[in-house]
Structure 1
Amino acid sequence: MPESLPKVVFLDKATIPSHIQFRTLNFPHQWLEFDYTSAEQIDARLQGASIVISNKVVLSAETLAKHPSIRLIAVSATGTNNVDLSYCRENSISVCNIQGYATRSVPEHAIGMIFALKRNLFAYHQDIANGVWQKNKQFCFFTHPITDVAGSTIAVFGSGNLGQGVASLSQALGMQVIFAERKGINEAREGYVTFKEALQRADIVTLHCPLTEQTTNLIAREELAMMKPSAIVINTGRGGLVNEADLIDALKAGTIAGAGFDVFTQEPADESNPLLANMSLPNLLLTPHVAWGSDSALQSLVDILLDNIDNFMAGTPSNTVV
């Protein structure tokens, strides 16, 4: 292909499973893709790039300044914290992201975690593996409380598409839904309850906020102490929304009854992370940031990603952040 064709470089294509289909872009181009790109590899791979696709690879001002050919950064996710947006704005680099692709997948994952924890499925699975049933000699045994999802009060923190999606499913399952006002605001808007009241009333706390300076450690020791000892916390939002060490202390002390986490302060996490270091707890359910990743959501993500690039090249940009 002639070198004059615009070069599209996907820096971390392995973030999309191989069975998800990519159609061909609508304009003549060169396509380069890499499963992973380290900080040491990024400059060589961006040489001559016009369009860069990145999910989590960091595109800093220092990096972007070395590659003036870049016209568009197409983020293959919703979050754009891996891109220096200020630099892009100042240097006429367009940035687009993916919106609305996981409004079914994330809520279903959150609901799945709620059922697993409220009914203590993981704890009972562990008991069977540890031989408790065999020792009990009865047709069934009850070593952990089993509570109904219907009739529970679920407090939703973050009322965007994902929070609304969880609320809709929760209502269909017979839960009472309350939306939490922002932390530090004493007078709740119509349709909301104060942050403190939401924590105190909730049987289930589910988090769907962006991670900002204001929401970092949104839930920590003080907030956990406000909750019912029978309550559970679900985090499919961002890892830094919850102080992980404080959460583990609360689980061990019985301050709360359980927690389901799909997100971590550092990803991939290792055993230096309090959640992974304590993953044997029967009331802690962990998944590796996959709530967003049903096959239908992933295919939708890819379709929107390619549409964003085509639209940019056609002069009708979509889902623009910058």
Structure 2
Amino acid sequence: MTTEQRHGVFLDAKTIACELVKPASLATWDVHPLVADADVAARIAAADVVYTNKVPLGADALAGAARLKLVVVAATGYDIIDLACCKQRGVAVANSPGYSVSSVPEHVLALIFAAARAVVPYHAAAGDGTWANADIFCLQDHPIIELRGRQAGFIGSGSLGRASAELCASVGMKTVFLERHDGEQDELPRLGLDELLATSDVVSLHCPLTAANRGMIDAAAIAKMKDGAILINTARGALVDSAALVAALEAGKLRGAGIDVLAAEPPPAAEPLLHCRHPGLVLSPHVAWASMESQQRLARMLAETTDAFFSGAPRHLVG
């Protein structure tokens, strides 16, 4: 098939807040702000390439896409794609690694600082009259801790985990990583999960979501964490049991948590973390990746990944 015949479909372009770059290897593409799950099959029926950030592509949707050759995920994680079905149908799947290698680590550090220095409750106190009505020049309602000399433990040692560790090290923190599943040794300081949880002042998640690690930070794991520790999650919401995290915060087991991702997004009204008023909790709406620069890199990467695939030099293929 020639470039003049290839057609692309973007299912949720609304998720990228910058101008998209049309791949040179496509003749046409339909850019939809957001396609409902029920409409995906009809939208991709004539597509050679499909782009999605968070709209799932399952077997039912893929069944009628006879021309489909490539799925490009506008994210690092690709758990929304039925990889087995794509493989069976001869459809290649590519993700978008590395585009947020500055944005996510900077957000991780911001969440750590916010929790360690009680930024959110002190901001509220400055605006609600609490500071104005104080009898001394400052407020000390929420203890502040310094990060220098404390340990940050990283579960996940890909590009985002390593870059986050570098930023933590730059402010004087000791950094360690979870041991490798394959048992191989590398240059990184590594600990078993129980030891990492028990000794780290900050635990930061940077691993993909799998069937094996879903809910890995549950009540039992939190009980093993160091008293007064801070939990950071910018990876996938379902890695953490939200109810257990809220219980640990309210019981004083943890100092705080910085959470950018939840198991369901947008979150339902019943999501426990939405109702938690603990001063050490910092929530952000899945924006760790979303710096302006990061989104521009992503838009270029989507086009480059597509053009590389059709030029015979595919990149970022998964599965």
TM-score range, shorter chain: over 0.9
Per the TM alignment, residue 4 of structure 1 is displaced from its structure 2 partner at its CA by 6.7
Q: Counterpart of 1:78? A: 76
Structure-2 change in CA distance of 1:188 and 1:9 (3 Å) = closer
Instruction: Calculate the aligned-residue CA RMSD, in Å.
Output: 2.1
Q: How many residues align?
A: 316
Q: Counterpart of 1:165? A: 163
Q: Distance in 2 between matches of 1:213 and 1:22?
A: 33
1:23 to 21, 26, 34: 21
Per the TM alignment, residue 134 of structure 1 is displaced from its structure 2 partner at its CA by 2.9
Identity among equivalent pairs (%): 37
The answer to whether the Cα contact below 8 Å between 1:270 and 1:276 also exists between their aligned partners in 2 is no
Q: Counterpart of 1:218? A: 216
Are residue 297 (structure 1) and residue 297 (structure 2) matched? no
Q: Aligned ranges for residues 165-204 of structure 1 at < 5 Å?
A: 165-181=163-179, 191-204=189-202
Greater Cα offset, 259-268 or 70-79: 70-79
SS of residue in 2 equivalent to 1:310: helix
Q: Counterpart of 1:14? A: 14
Q: Distance in 2 between matches of 1:112 and 1:148?
A: 14
Q: Counterpart of 2:313? A: 316
Structure-2 change in CA distance of 1:28 and 1:230 (3 Å) = closer
Per the TM alignment, residue 300 of structure 1 is displaced from its structure 2 partner at its CA by 1.1
Q: Distance in 2 between matches of 1:5 and 1:188?
A: 47
Per the TM alignment, residue 51 of structure 1 is displaced from its structure 2 partner at its CA by 1.1
Q: Aligned ranges for residues 103-114 of structure 1 at < 5 Å?
A: 103-114=101-112
Q: Distance in 1 between matches of 2:4 and 2:299?
A: 26
Q: Which runs of 5+ in 2 are unaligned?
A: none
Q: Distance in 2 between matches of 1:177 and 1:25?
A: 40
Structure 1 letter corresponding to 2:5: L
Runs of 4+ in 1 over 6 A off after TM superposition: none
Per the TM alignment, residue 182 of structure 1 is displaced from its structure 2 partner at its CA by 6.2
Q: Counterpart of 2:303? A: 306
Per the TM alignment, residue 188 of structure 1 is displaced from its structure 2 partner at its CA by 9.7
TM-score normalised by structure 2 residue count: 0.93
Q: Which runs of 5+ in 1 are unaligned?
A: none
Structure-2 change in CA distance of 1:265 and 1:7 (3 Å) = same
Q: Deviations over 1:134-159 (max 9, x none)?
A: 33221112111111111111111111
2:240 to 224, 242, 245: 242
Per the TM alignment, residue 11 of structure 1 is displaced from its structure 2 partner at its CA by 0.8
The answer to whether the Cα contact below 8 Å between 1:118 and 1:147 also exists between their aligned partners in 2 is yes
SS of residue in 1 equivalent to 2:5: coil
Q: Distance in 2 between matches of 1:28 and 1:101?
A: 22
SS of residue in 2 equivalent to 1:136: coil
Q: Distance in 1 between matches of 2:127 and 2:38?
A: 45
Q: Aligned ranges for residues 226-305 of structure 1 at < 5 Å?
A: 226-278=224-276, 280-305=277-302
Q: Counterpart of 1:44? A: 42
